[in-house]
A = this chain, B = another copy of it.
Amino acid sequence: MGRSSVYCDLAVEANSLAIERRGTSIPGVEEDVEYIDDIFVSRIKVTTEEAAHEIGKEMGQYISVHSHDLRGNNREEQNKLSGIIGEELKQLLGWPDEPDDDEPTTFVVGLGNWRATPDALGPRVVGHLLMTRHLYREAPPELRRGVRPVCGLAPGVLGLTGIETGEIVKGIIDKIKPDQLVVIDALSAHSMDRLGATVQVSDTGIAPGSGVGGRSLSINSGTMGIPVLAIGIPTVVHGWILADETLEGFRRESRRLKGIGPLPDQVKDRIIEDVLSPFGENSILTPKGIDELIEEVSRTLGGAINIALHPDITADNLSLYLK
């Protein structure tokens, strides 16, 4: 393998890499950026198949919200972030602000392995959600106002179940017929700076090879038959990226120092494979405090999803609903 085969989960990174390679912006990729206070929001649309191929991301919308407060422990800043991310989710969901009598049902799936801390984001976020579907139908209309029907689970990974997660999810969708699916997964980034600091929301679903676990599944509106919103936060950097970045750093330094040229790819790959053996492409890099990082970002992301799905929950009253 080589760097190009390390899946790039974040569209904002994939776009930057493509721009760097090409030297100009990519036709068919639109990126709007905005600062809300010191929170950086990027909204990318990939509008053509050519653009999708060039940046290595499916056609569709990708919104990323970047702030180091996400992994901090300032609850006020986190609640504010939950509100901002929640608003972006609402935009993608395209819902009316006021619920009506026939509310759409949302099914939320937390991907990943709760026994491996860096991969536990999905299960942890699901644990922070207000599940209401089973209460909703029995409640009189006046009590339903303010919440929408939500259900969800964290099915675990292939090695624990023997079943592809995509099969589990599709089976449940066919049975309970929700109106939309929200999938949460721990992602990998190409930069340490993004760990626990960037949330990506997209309407393209989950692609094979994505996520910390390198999911083998494809979960999108095509395979699932209903709209799919994918939400993720990077919690690891692949070892390959670190080694590659190191060599690139060296090359830049060396050029200044010695005037040597770029390193042939097959030489780079051989060096890196040697260093990463025996786990190779399965080596992941995390910060030491990964448990606290996961705890903090799960809470903030859980809050954002609660805000997006239930009209009664806002950034101001969020702490009355979070577990």
Contact = CB atoms under 8 A, between A and B. Distances in A.
Given A151-B163, A320-B76, A285 B282 contact: no
A75 B321 contact: yes
A186 to B, nearest CB: 11
Copies of this chain in its oligomeric complex: 4
Interface in A119-171: 119, 131-135, 149-153, 155-156, 158-164, 167-168, 170-171
A152 B159 contact: no
Given A161-B153, A284-B288, A174 B174 contact: yes
A271 B283 contact: no
Query: Which of A132, A167, A278 counts the most B-chain CB atoms under 10 A from its CB?
Result: A278
Contact of A279 (B150, B173, B287): B287
Contact of A243 (B170, B213, B246): B246
Chain A binding site: helix, strand, loop or mixed by DSSP? Answer: helix
Interface stretch (A13-21, A26-34, A199-207, A249-257): A249-257
Contact of A163 (B176, B242, B245): B176
A192 B279 contact: yes
Interface stretch (A36-44, A81-89, A92-100, A289-297): A289-297
Contacts of A162: 131-135, 149-152
A272 B246 contact: yes
Interface stretch (A4-12, A49-57, A109-117, A225-233): A109-117
A1 interface: no
A195 B163 contact: no
A101 interface: no
A61 interface: no
Top 8 A-B residue pairs of the complex, sorted by shortest distance between their CB atoms: A171-B175, A319-B319, A151-B162, A131-B162, A133-B162, A249-B271, A171-B171, A116-B291
Given A151-B163, A279-B288, A319-B320, 13 more contacts: A116-B291, A134-B163, A151-B162, A153-B155, A163-B172, A168-B175, A171-B175, A174-B174, A192-B279, A249-B275, A279-B287, A283-B287, A295-B323
